[in-house]
Amino acid sequence: MTSLRWLKLNRTGLCYLPEELAALQKLEHLSVSHNNLTTLHGELSSLPSLRAIVARANSLKNSGVPDDIFKLDDLSVLDLSHNQLTECPRELENAKNML
């Protein structure tokens, strides 16, 4: 499954991102909505093809959004709506393809 391009883990009760995600080097779209995530820290920044992260309706706080995901060259969609964020991530300005 290392050639997987889309992965939808919505409503699965996730509390953290599995470290096995790092093996999905062709992953383009990751959806982890409606879970119990408090952080997106993990291996996301090591996924060179990642274009979209949909993490709406979790329990993410400001410290749970790692700065390094904004360095992904192809990232154009980041949905963090309906979380516990109180401010826009400061590194968002470094995202190359976000509008």
pTM over 0.85: yes
pLDDT at 74 over 70: yes
Q: Taking residues 7-22, what's their average pLDDT?
A: 95
3-state class (DSSP) for residue 32: coil
- Please choose, from the candidates 81, 39, 35, 41, the residue with its C-alpha nearest in 3D space to the C-alpha of residue 61: 39
pLDDT at 37 over 70: yes
What is the rounded average pLDDT for all residues in the chain?
92
**Domain of residue 35, CATH code:** 3.80.10.10
Domain that holds residue 39: 1-98
pLDDT band at 96 (very low <50, low <70, confident <90, very high): confident
Q: How many domains does the chain have?
A: 1
DSSP 8-state secondary structure symbol assigned to residue 72: -
3-state class (DSSP) for residue 18: coil
pLDDT band at 2 (very low <50, low <70, confident <90, very high): confident
Q: Which two tokens mark 53?
A: 């992260």
**Cβ 44 vs Cβ 66: under 8 Å:** yes
Q: Which pLDDT score, from 0 to 100, does residue 91 have? A: 81
